[in-house]
Amino acid sequence: MNKSQTPPAGFATEHGDRIELQDSLDAINDYYYECGWTDGLPIIPPTEERVARMLQGMPWREPDELIAVVPPKQGRATLRQIAVNAVMAGCKPEYLPVMVAALEAVSEPQYGLAHRQTTTHAGAPLIIVNGPIARALRINCGTGLFGPGWRANATIGRALRLVLVNVGGAGPGVDFSQTGHPGKYTYCIAEYEEANPWEPLHVERGYRREHSTVTVVNAEAPHSMTENIQTDPDEIMRTFASSMSGLGVNNLYSQGHPVLVLGIEHAHHIAAAGWSKRDVKQALFERARQPWGLVKDRGKSKGPVFPDWVDRNDDNSMVPIVCSAEDLILIVGGGAGGKSMFLPTAGAQSLSVTKLIETRK
Query: What are the pLDDT digits (tens) for 303-322?
Result: 667 888 999 999 999 999 99
Contact at 8 Å (CB) between 48 and 19?
Answer: no
Alpha-carbon span 182 to 220, nearest angstrom: 9
SS3 275: coil
Total residues found in the chain within this entry:
361
Please name every residue paired with 228 in a beta bridge, in sequence order, or none if there are none: none
9 versus 354: the higher-pLDDT residue is 354
Please name every residue paired with 126 in a beta bridge, in sequence order, or none if there are none: 217
- Asked if pLDDT for residue 3 goes beyond 50, the answer is no
Find the mean pLDDT for residues 110-139.
97
Q: In the prediction, which pLDDT does 303 show?
A: 64
Domain regions of the chain by residue span: 57-220+351-356, 223-343
- Asked if pLDDT for residue 99 goes beyond 50, the answer is yes
pLDDT in tens, 251-308: 999 999 999 999 999 999 999 999 999 999 999 999 999 999 999 988 876 666 788 8
Contact at 8 Å (CB) between 79 and 122?
Answer: no
- Asked if pLDDT for residue 66 goes beyond 70, the answer is yes
pLDDT over 90, % of the chain: 88
Q: In the prediction, which pLDDT does 299 show?
A: 87
Find the mean pLDDT for residues 179-196.
97
Contact at 8 Å (CB) between 70 and 315?
Answer: no
Find the mean pLDDT for residues 117-133.
96
- Asked if pLDDT for residue 33 goes beyond 90, the answer is yes
Beta strands (DSSP E) in the chain are 66-70, 75-78, 124-130, 188-190, 213-219, 223-226, 259-262, 289-291, 318-320, 329-332, 339-343, 353-356
Alpha-carbon span 105 to 123, nearest angstrom: 16
SS3 353: strand
Alpha-carbon span 304 to 253, nearest angstrom: 8
Q: Which amino acid is at 37?
A: W
Find the mean pLDDT for residues 119-134.
97
Give the lowest-confidence range in 6-20, 59-73, 80-94, 345-359.
6-20
Q: In the prediction, which pLDDT does 306 show?
A: 81
Give the lowest-confidence range in 161-175, 202-216, 297-311.
297-311
- Asked if pLDDT for residue 200 goes beyond 50, the answer is yes
Cα 355 to Cα 196, 207, 219, 349, distances in angstroms = 21, 10, 17, 19
- Asked if pLDDT for residue 162 goes beyond 90, the answer is yes
User: Which residues touch 206 (CB under 8 Å, ≥6 apart)?
Assistant: none
Model pTM score: 0.94
Output DSSP code: residue 193: G
Q: In the prediction, which pLDDT does 302 show?
A: 65
Beta strands (DSSP E) in 272-356 are 289-291, 318-320, 329-332, 339-343, 353-356
- Asked if pLDDT for residue 139 goes beyond 50, the answer is yes
Q: What is the mean pLDDT of the chain?
A: 93
- Asked if pLDDT for residue 199 goes beyond 50, the answer is yes
